[in-house]
């Protein structure tokens, strides 16, 4: 089809947004629109400028015969901080307190637009970590894991507590749940993670870190490496956590079951040590 | 910020795509860009034309003081048929056959870009069904359910086999799994579905339909109604299915465990009776 610049800008913007972290040769667009590569380059610099001004992301250009352009999603630090602050306020509602020191979070995790936005913060944070796959634990880690993976354009491996017959051969490990000190089992289908993958672990909630520690061991069983760890909420844990390098979006820092009072703060993602923009 | 048309087109395209099924007043854009409403209207007609030509969706205009513009995602029938055909070819690989007549599908379900595309087909199909919430069964229905819900801008309710302590009071029902004739339990957190919701049920696999039948009963327990039912794959079932009105994307129509042969066809979504475009 033949488009004027205005039409091309709309169509290319949609294409970039739906193909993150994917290199596209310039010739793809010039053939699609029957336009000169020079016009396409101009289109792309307009899109790039808006994407960068509005912190939608950037468009990286790779030169050479195998070159092309790649959309890398990003987030605006100030907007992300605002989003996380609002999330903390929502989480601090005492109605969420459940027996055992848990928080009701399904309304947060059940909102697909919000989970996309939260996933995008992790995807932006780990955009240079050369992630090959995202790993998460069923059930509640799945929505955010998919949002992260979608923005990074990598597959998801879902670890489960049970053994299910519908997935062929599985790899199981035992692990000690950190807060309850109970031995549990987690399994992953042999086919669902390629060996030598660089794996980003994403979960909804971390107390002592036992489940995440288990997933780290499972990654090793697949001869793979850890690209990073991200949790939506980290909880109070008196003893030393079993995991050191993790990124959290929110932190449940104080809780009084008797007076039904909880305090939720932004997690460590905005700490200076993590240099949000430059990682 | 002040933008020229080209910049506005890029930014507005991004805004529409990330706010599906959400009415936006024209004044939002005219204030954001400090532009006349007439210029914004022209921008929107350019975007609308490209969206409709490329089957990205449409932009509906509501007149009046409370009026505005709403992006309704859609899909191209031909491209969707092509995507489903390719999916059938992938599913027909005999290596997927697992004991018990199950198919290994985690590579499909584990691909966030593919699940987004499949979810978009359901969202387009049910775009006029006034869906308030999407319901699915943990674990494997979740990725597609979120993709559907994201495109419809509604929350997700995750039904589970187990009782988990982290969700407060739950509603449980017993149901008979259709193929194994075994009594099982499914639960949904009381807080995770509002009464009087119109619920779209989405699942990955349907054999006799017992699980979906159970979810339909659960919807009733929440004084809610069924907006529709969508499954990624329906399997062979000799007896009558327990569910009548459902939309399937693919159909496992023949299977021979001995010779390791399976046949997978497109589901009923493209049948004339469903009038894909006009529902």
Cα–Cα dist A59/A172, whole Å = 41
Indicate which CATH number applies to the domain containing A195.
3.40.50.2020
Provide the pLDDT confidence category of residue A228 given band limits of 50, 70 and 90.
very high
Across the range A172-180, mean pLDDT stands at 82
Domain C-terminal end among A73, A100, A126 = A73
Domain C-terminal end among B15, B46, B73 = B73
Q: DSSP character for A169?
A: S
Percent of chain A with pLDDT over 90: 76
Domain annotation covers residue A279 = no
Distance to chain B for A268, nearest Cα, Å:
24
Q: Which residue of B has its CA nearest to A189?
A: B106
- B207 forms beta bridges with none
Q: A190 and A256 share a domain?
A: yes
B74: chain A residues, CB-CB within 8 Å? none
Q: Which residue of B has its CA nearest to A95?
A: B168
Whether B237 shows a pLDDT value over 90: the answer reads no
Q: A33 and A129 share a domain?
A: no
B97: chain A residues, CB-CB within 8 Å? none
Provide the pLDDT confidence category of residue B209 given band limits of 50, 70 and 90.
very high
Residue, of B236 and B246, whose pLDDT is higher: B246
Provide the pLDDT confidence category of residue B266 given band limits of 50, 70 and 90.
very high
pLDDT at A12: 98
Q: B137 and B49 share a domain?
A: no
Whether A272 shows a pLDDT value over 70: the answer reads no
Distance to chain B for A70, nearest Cα, Å:
16
Which of A193, A131, A20 has the alpha carbon at shortest distance from B107? Answer: A193
Domain annotation covers residue B60 = yes
Q: B96 and B211 share a domain?
A: yes
How far is the CA of A223 from the CAs of A161, A190, A217, A244, B38, in angstroms?
Answer: 21, 12, 10, 21, 59
Would you say B208 and B178 are in contact if contact means Cβ atoms under 8 Å apart?
yes
Domain annotation covers residue B157 = yes
Domain C-terminal end among B73, B100, B116 = B73
Across the range B177-189, mean pLDDT stands at 84
Would you say B123 and B152 are in contact if contact means Cβ atoms under 8 Å apart?
yes
> Which of B112, B139, B166 is facing A102, going by the closest CB pair?
B166
Domain annotation covers residue A233 = yes
Q: B177 and B253 share a domain?
A: yes
Domain annotation covers residue A143 = yes
Cα–Cα dist B122/A44, whole Å = 32
Model-level ipTM above the cut of 0.90 = yes
pLDDT at B251: 95
Would the CB atoms of A160 and B143 count as touching at under 8 Å? no
Would the CB atoms of B112 and A146 count as touching at under 8 Å? yes
Would you say B184 and B177 are in contact if contact means Cβ atoms under 8 Å apart?
yes
Q: A210 and A223 share a domain?
A: yes
How far is the CA of B260 from the CAs of A109, B87, B93, B191, in angstroms?
Answer: 40, 19, 9, 45
Q: A83 and A196 share a domain?
A: yes
Would you say A232 and A117 are in contact if contact means Cβ atoms under 8 Å apart?
no
The total of structural domains in chain B comes to: 2
Whether A167 shows a pLDDT value over 90: the answer reads no
Provide the pLDDT confidence category of residue B278 given band limits of 50, 70 and 90.
very low
Provide the pLDDT confidence category of residue A65 given band limits of 50, 70 and 90.
confident
CB pairs A-B closer than 8 Å: 159
Whether A31 shows a pLDDT value over 50: the answer reads yes
A-contacting residues of B 101-120, CB under 8 Å?
102-104, 106-107, 110-113, 115-116
Digit-coded pLDDT (tens) for A139-155: 999 999 999 999 999 99
Quote the tokens at residue B269.
Answer: 């979504």
Provide the pLDDT confidence category of residue B267 given band limits of 50, 70 and 90.
very high
Cα–Cα dist B205/B231, whole Å = 6
pLDDT at A278: 46
A59: chain B residues, CB-CB within 8 Å? none
Whether A274 shows a pLDDT value over 60: the answer reads no
Q: Which residue of A has its CA nearest to B52?
A: A11
Q: A164 and A246 share a domain?
A: yes
Helix, strand or coil, per DSSP, at residue A40? helix
Domain annotation covers residue A99 = yes
Domain annotation covers residue B279 = no
Whether B103 shows a pLDDT value over 90: the answer reads no
Would the CB atoms of B11 and A54 count as touching at under 8 Å? yes
Digit-coded pLDDT (tens) for B23-69: 999 999 999 999 999 999 999 999 999 999 999 999 999 988 888 99
Q: B158 and B48 share a domain?
A: no
A52: chain B residues, CB-CB within 8 Å? none
Indicate which CATH number applies to the domain containing A10.
1.10.10.10
Q: B58 and B158 share a domain?
A: no
Would you say B58 and B52 are in contact if contact means Cβ atoms under 8 Å apart?
yes
The mean pLDDT of chain A is 91
The mean pLDDT of chain B is 91
Rounded (5°) CA angle A252-A253-A258: 90
Identify the domain containing residue A105 by its residue range: 77-274
Would the CB atoms of A10 and B14 count as touching at under 8 Å? no
Domain annotation covers residue B196 = yes
Whether B100 shows a pLDDT value over 80: the answer reads no
Whether B148 shows a pLDDT value over 70: the answer reads yes
A79-93, A119-133, B171-185: segment of lowest average pLDDT: B171-185
Whether B265 shows a pLDDT value over 50: the answer reads yes
Distance to chain A for B273, nearest Cα, Å:
31
B-contacting residues of A 8-47, CB under 8 Å?
9-11, 13-14, 17-18, 46-47
Would you say A246 and A229 are in contact if contact means Cβ atoms under 8 Å apart?
yes
Peptide bond into B97 cis (omega under 30): no
Whether A178 shows a pLDDT value over 80: the answer reads no
Cα–Cα dist A159/B237, whole Å = 29
Percent of chain A with pLDDT over 70: 94
Whether residue A217 lies within 8 A of chain B, CB to CB, comes out as no
> Which of A14, A99, A153 is facing B56, going by the closest CB pair?
A14
Q: A118 and A202 share a domain?
A: yes
pLDDT at A279: 41
Cα–Cα dist A259/A255, whole Å = 9
Would the CB atoms of A115 and B146 count as touching at under 8 Å? yes
Q: A111 and A186 share a domain?
A: yes
Whether A238 shows a pLDDT value over 90: the answer reads no
A-contacting residues of B 156-215, CB under 8 Å?
156-158, 160, 165-168, 189, 191-192
> Which of A46, A107, A156 is facing B112, going by the closest CB pair?
A156
Would the CB atoms of B157 and A110 count as touching at under 8 Å? yes
How far is the CA of A130 from the CAs of A21, A198, A225, B74, B123, in angstroms?
Answer: 10, 7, 11, 33, 32
Whether A275 shows a pLDDT value over 80: the answer reads no
């Amino acid at each position: 089809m033949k488009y004027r610049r205005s039409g091309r800008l709309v169509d290319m913007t949609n294409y970039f947004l739906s193909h993150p972290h994917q290199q596209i040769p310039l010739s793809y667009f010039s053939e699609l629109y029957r336009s000169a590569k020079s016009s396409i380059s101009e289109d792309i610099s307009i899109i790039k400028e808006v994407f960068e001004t509005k912190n939608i992301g950037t468009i990286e250009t790779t030169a050479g015969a195998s070159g092309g352009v790649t959309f890398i999603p990003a987030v605006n630090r100030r907007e992300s901080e605002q989003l996380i602050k609002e999330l903390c306020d929502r989480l601090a509602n005492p109605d969420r307190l459940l027996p055992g020191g848990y928080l009701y979070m399904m309304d947060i995790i059940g909102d697909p637009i919000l989970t996309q936005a939260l996933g995008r913060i992790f995807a932006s944070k780990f955009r240079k970590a050369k992630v090959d796959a995202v790993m998460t634990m069923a059930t509640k880690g799945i929505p955010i894991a998919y949002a992260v993976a979608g923005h990074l354009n990598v597959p998801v491996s879902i670890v489960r507590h049970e053994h299910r017959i519908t997935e062929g051969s599985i790899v199981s490990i035992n692990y000690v749940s950190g807060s309850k000190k109970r031995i549990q089992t987690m399994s992953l289908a042999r086919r669902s993670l390629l060996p030598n993958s660089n794996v980003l672990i994403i979960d909804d909630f971390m107390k002592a870190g036992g489940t995440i520690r288990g997933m780290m061991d499972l990654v090793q069983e697949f001869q793979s490496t850890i690209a990073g760890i991200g949790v939506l909420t980290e909880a109070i844990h008196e003893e030393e956590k079993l995991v050191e390098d993790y990124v959290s979006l929110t932190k449940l820092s104080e809780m009084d079951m008797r007076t039904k009072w909880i305090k939720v703060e932004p997690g460590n993602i905005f700490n200076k040590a993590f240099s949000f923009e430059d990682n």
